[in-house]
Amino acid sequence: MTYLTYNRDTYLTYDKDGDVPAYPSYASYGDFSPVKGDYATATPAQKASLYIMPDLLSGSDYNGGSVSKSNYDTFLKMYGKREGVYDCHGGMGTFAIVIRADVAESEDIAETLDDLGNYPVLDENAYRKEQDVRKKDAWSGWVERDARNKVETKVQEFIEDWEPDDSFEERFYDAIEETGECFQEESDGSMYIKVDKLVPNITDMILAEIVPDLSLPLLMGRNWKSETARMLYLSRLKGVPV
């Protein structure tokens, strides 16, 4: 039911009486049905009552991800007020762009759809911003809690009453930069990162910074994962009697 370009033999009809709700209102995803036929022989009058739903402009809570969502937002900004372009929503967070078939053949929209056939992202900045939103959702949803708990356990082996402070998020992203570990987008559009790969670096940096001078010799045999932390530790150790 969803496709990339408009030159096809499958298209949609609107099942409700009257016109499709225009922007800023939106149509219901379930109000469109696929129709089989020979699109190449459709008359202009027939095309005016047929619709397409490009796949890279649609998604839901379970598919599509940041590519489709950023494309959807970008396309709405470009053409949302154009007659024959419709915002469409449904259950499970479904979102889509529906385009009347004759409007899809207009020069600028046809060019945009064809561009998607060559490269799946309409706007790189919008795509990165959408990914950032999803990373923040992951951070607040589970990543911060998981990372804090694991680092706290490690650091408290040396400093019993230590607890993460407001700098923890910065330390987390410093560890990402140092390790090269990064967020990966799952098939449902959520973000995942291997927190366990970052915990040693975060722990190293915290210990190198906050362990009291007199306790620094206790870390002499440590297998440092963070080179930055190791260098900081050695610079501190120089002034401590062993």
Residues 196, 149, single domain; the answer is yes
**Percent residues over pLDDT 90 in the chain:** 69
Q: End of a domain among 106, 122, 138?
A: 122
Residues 150, 230, single domain; the answer is yes
Average pLDDT in the 131-153 region?
97
- The answer to whether position 142 is within a domain reads yes
Could you read off the pLDDT of 161-192 as tens digits, one per residue? 999 999 999 999 999 999 999 999 998 899 99
Give the domain extent around 94: 10-122
Could you read off the pLDDT of 71-124 as tens digits, one per residue? 999 999 999 999 999 999 999 999 999 999 899 989 999 999 999 989 999 999
Domain count, the chain: 2
Element (H, E) at 168: helix 168-179
Q: What are phi and psi of 86, to 5 degrees?
A: -130, 140
Average pLDDT in the 18-43 region?
80
pLDDT of res. 168 = 97
Residues 130, 118, single domain; the answer is no
Q: End of a domain among 122, 152, 178?
A: 122
3-class secondary structure, 214:
helix
Q: End of a domain among 67, 92, 122?
A: 122
- Output the average pLDDT for the chain: 89
Q: Residue 39: pLDDT above 90?
A: no
Q: Are 193 and 183 in contact (CB under 8 A)?
A: yes
pLDDT of res. 11 = 81
What whole-number distance in Å separates Cα of residue 169 and Cα of residue 165? 9
Confidence of residue 241 (pLDDT cuts 50, 70, 90): low
